[in-house]
């Protein structure tokens, strides 16, 4: 059963297709939330700079 499952997935390129679809969903999600993500990243950079100054 498992051998047939693997063979079938190989024939229909299941893994490659799934990965491509998942990657596109992630790209769209990131694009929709890009401003919030960039803001969060900036805040994390500020926090990291403060920690570095305190621990230097």
- The two three-digit tokens of residue 18, written as one number: 């799934």
Q: What is the pLDDT of residue 6?
A: 87
Alpha-carbon distance of 42 to 36, in angstroms, equals: 10
Around Cβ 9, how many Cβ atoms within 10 Å? 14
Longest CA–CA separation in the chain, Å: 59
Q: What is the pLDDT of residue 2?
A: 86
**Residue 1 pLDDT more than 90?**
no
Predicted TM-score (pTM) of this structure? 0.64
In this predicted model, what pLDDT tens digit does every residue of 4-46 receive, in sequence order?
Answer: 888 899 899 999 999 999 999 999 999 999 999 999 999 999 9
């Amino acid at each position: 059963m498992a051998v047939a499952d693997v063979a079938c997935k190989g024939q229909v390129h299941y893994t490659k297709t799934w990965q491509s679809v998942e990657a596109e969903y992630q790209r769209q999600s990131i694009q929709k939330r890009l401003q919030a993500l960039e803001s969060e990243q900036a805040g994390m950079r500020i926090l990291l700079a403060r920690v570095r100054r305190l621990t230097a």
